[in-house]
Structure 1
């Protein structure tokens, strides 16, 4: 079990690193060939498609859960029934979305085109996306089965290869006059091929021989899955509103050309969030197992120590991004994108890191069936976020949207911290003392060194940027080891070190 968790977590981290590398390589190429308008439009359409993706009504995590359950029970009939029932549902949703995109492209694409430009390009763009939906939505069922079967490594390896091939093809054939359509086509074909491979793998004996049989469609089973997934759906809607609405608000009020000045720093900061989610993902089944055994003391110990480590890592990344983010953007895509980047990065880092000061709350509360609080509170936070964004963008532009994202989180996250500590039966003061306070001095030392490199030495080349990052890593890791870990924790790590075992 532990080995499988480590393999899956390592695979998730590897995928995140590859995506970061591709973002670093591809973003300047995209901006150069698409221009600010089409790049901003691509980000806005991606946000719209993200909202459309929620029309699955939270059924994807339900599929994963029931696939895992029935596989453990060796219940082949229910595995096939869930597959058939959800595939019909998801195919129908994909068809409706494809129809809407096709209608938008044929009838209203002129509204997307800049003044004086032929709308045909945007019609073809939306038709390509419509075709993509016909494959992608039913493909989510196969992807969810692979996750339920704990085959993250297979899924992630396919995604990595697919992403690399797509990037190479785009770079090889891109030009400013074909960039938007080529990007849409490469993305659509890549996703479609990936999901078709997922479906093919499920038909193999080693993956359970899961095949579609319309006769096994069961409306009652589908309703059961939808009922289970409703809380995830509500939480997903709220999360999507908080993370994807900003680009739509900016594009609607300031125009698509203003979107990159927000979305590029946002995409940079989002990897901090991804790291937190990736590192905490494998703990949910562990907490569930320990809770079933009533080993609450062990849960508390793991929760506090693991939180200390994850909080230290994500906050270190956040401080680093806030300090060196602007020099990095200047070297990466040009100084024209750094006019307000310091304040935007600071606000976005704060918004991203704040939920991660308690990184295991969602995993633990889900494991014990107490995650309904997210479905109750997060929609309120998301609506407030949207209302503030609509108001502040008119007065403060892009910076106003970033402020609007942060303000509701300042109220929500302390409430979630108190609630999760109550369920964990650990006083909030104990959590703060054992999981947050030990990180303060290492983070201050790392932040001081990083700030000195930026404002004392100056970061005007990639070499100095790399030196700054490496220096920050060394300072943080040494001070974290010496100051954050207590003697028992250091002994625990050393006793299980591969170097110790090999000697």
Structure 2
């Protein structure tokens, strides 16, 4: 396949992935807010923001891993390529322990850090925080395997995984909320989708 066609395929895959995310958020957000209610949705949003901050712990490892995967793949240096992948996975494995500890600390301190949280949801939020931190770890590990796909110029496959997970997450969100499982159900859906994304990128 020519370089122009590869570029066009990769651009199209990225645009489709971006558009799909925007559309799902646009149509799903009102349903989530209406079903959870403003107060509970506020707690869920706060948990999402806190776990988003955990992404800072990446400290550039994902970008560096992706850069060297492309470099050594282009040089056909399979020894260093393997070392790069193993190093990235090792660093993220260690980082996963740190993330879980931070999630536990924030979870235990949730009633003290966010005292305006309704009392009946303080314990729930304390349990969900470490679980969502675990999902961040799944994302980090999955990014290492995803970088191998993109290094081979297979953005279509990488975005295909993302789209599949997005569809599962949207479906799971609707089912969890219609079943009355609230933010606990949303957390379970998030964890399952995160694990499936990791496995799909690995395969």
Cα separation, 2, equivalents of 1:30 and 1:54: 27
1:61-88: per-residue Cα shift (whole Å, max 9, x none)?
Answer: 2222211111111111011000011111
Residues 69 and 115 from structure 1, CA distance in 2 versus in 1: closer, same or farther, beyond 3 angstroms? closer
Cα separation, 2, equivalents of 1:118 and 1:18: 32
Please say if 1:52 is aligned against 2:39. Answer: no
Cα separation, 1, equivalents of 2:130 and 2:47: 13
Residues 115 and 64 from structure 1, CA distance in 2 versus in 1: closer, same or farther, beyond 3 angstroms? closer
Moved over 3 A (4+): none
SS state of the match for residue 120, structure 2?
A: coil
Confirm or deny: 8 A CA contact 1:95 1:133 kept in the other structure: no
Cα separation, 2, equivalents of 1:184 and 1:20: 21
Partner of residue 13, structure 2 = 11
Partner of residue 172, structure 2 = 169
Partner of residue 290, structure 1 = none
Alignment of 1:93-492 (within 5 A): 93-105=95-107, 107-111=108-112, 112=114, 114-175=117-178, 178-200=181-203
Confirm or deny: 8 A CA contact 2:89 2:141 kept in the other structure: yes
Residues 44 and 91 from structure 1, CA distance in 2 versus in 1: closer, same or farther, beyond 3 angstroms? same
Larger radius of gyration: 1
Corresponding residue to 1:26 among 28, 44, 66: 28
- The Cα RMSD (Å) is 2.0
Higher RCO, 1 vs 2 (CA within 8 Å, ≥6 residues apart): 2
Cα separation, 1, equivalents of 2:36 and 2:170: 15
Please list every run of 5 or more consecutive structure 1 residues that lacks an aligned counterpart in the other structure: 201-503
1:310-351: per-residue Cα shift (whole Å, max 9, x none)?
Answer: xxxxxxxxxxxxxxxxxxxxxxxxxxxxxxxxxxxxxxxxxx
User: Please, what TM-score do these two structures have when normalized by structure 1?
Assistant: 0.37
May I ask how many residue pairs the two structures share in their alignment?
A: 199
1:127-156: per-residue Cα shift (whole Å, max 9, x none)?
Answer: 321332343322221122222222211011
Confirm or deny: 8 A CA contact 2:13 2:159 kept in the other structure: yes
Cα separation, 1, equivalents of 2:103 and 2:143: 19
1:109-142: per-residue Cα shift (whole Å, max 9, x none)?
Answer: 3244734425232123213213323433222211
User: Please, what TM-score do these two structures have when normalized by structure 2?
Assistant: 0.88
Please list every run of 5 or more consecutive structure 2 residues that lacks an aligned counterpart in the other structure: none
Cα separation, 1, equivalents of 2:81 and 2:157: 20
Cα separation, 1, equivalents of 2:172 and 2:99: 27
SS state of the match for residue 174, structure 1?
A: helix
Confirm or deny: 8 A CA contact 2:96 2:134 kept in the other structure: no
Corresponding residue to 2:93 among 74, 91, 94: 91
Partner of residue 35, structure 1 = 37
Cα separation, 2, equivalents of 1:103 and 1:36: 26
Cα separation, 1, equivalents of 2:31 and 2:56: 30
Deviation at 1:26, TM superposition (A): 0.6
Cα separation, 1, equivalents of 2:56 and 2:4: 32
